[in-house]
Amino acid sequence: MIKALYPGSFDPFHNGHVEIVERASVLFDSVVVAAMRNPQKADPLFSLEERQEMIVEAVCHIKNVEVVSLSTLVVDLANQLGASVIVRGLRVVSDFEVELQMAQMNRKLSDIDTVFIPTSAEYSFLASKLLREVASFGGNVSAMVPKVVADALDARFGR
């Protein structure tokens, strides 16, 4: 039984994230998606609880997935959940530099391995930060996020 942990800020969760969860759910026996607080990303748009609720709805079509939200170290959460693998998505080469360092740090801390899933080309431009910016200026991002997220962005920015 291999349980994978897919941690991220997910502020907000978008279609690129959904696709990574779908593919991880095929590779592993179960997947836990964790909405986490990222200290480098101050001032989140949605609270951890709001993000968790949106992710639950966005991945409800996938059977072997559960969703949590926590402000803790990723490796501590993985140990707590019995997850032996961390999953991260890769969009572009610059992601790899940051992700490699984080994967090596996590392995040093807890012997846990990270598996990278390369995004499909159609999602490689998608980034939560960009979506937040576009939505805040009234842009329509509904084709790039699950419906529950599009509705939440509309409510937040009054589209």
SS3 141: coil
The minimum distance between CB 2 and ligand ADP, in angstroms, equals 18
Q: Of 2 and 92, which has the nearer Cβ to ligand ADP?
A: 92
Task: Judge whether 157 and 138 are in contact, CB under 8 Å.
Answer: yes
Q: Which region, judged by CB under 6 A, interacts with ligand ADP, from 60-68, 85-93, 107-115, 145-153?
A: 85-93
Q: Does 127 bind ligand ADP (CB under 6 A)?
A: yes
Using the minimum distance from each CB to ligand ADP, give the nearer residue, 10 or 46. 10
Is 21 one of the binding residues for ligand ADP (CB under 6 A)?
no
Residue 17 annotated as catalytic = yes
Told to judge if 91 belongs to the known catalytic residues of this protein, a careful annotator would answer yes
Beta strands in 16-152 (DSSP E): 30-36, 65-70, 85-90, 113-118
**14 flagged as catalytic:** no
Q: Which of 70, 64, 65 is nearest to 52 (CA)?
A: 70
What does the buried/exposed string (b/e) look like for 49-60 if buried means 16 or more CB atoms within 10 Å of the residue's CB? ebbbbbbbebbe
Part in contact with ligand ADP (CB under 6 A); list of ranges 42-50, 56-64, 83-91, 151-159: 83-91
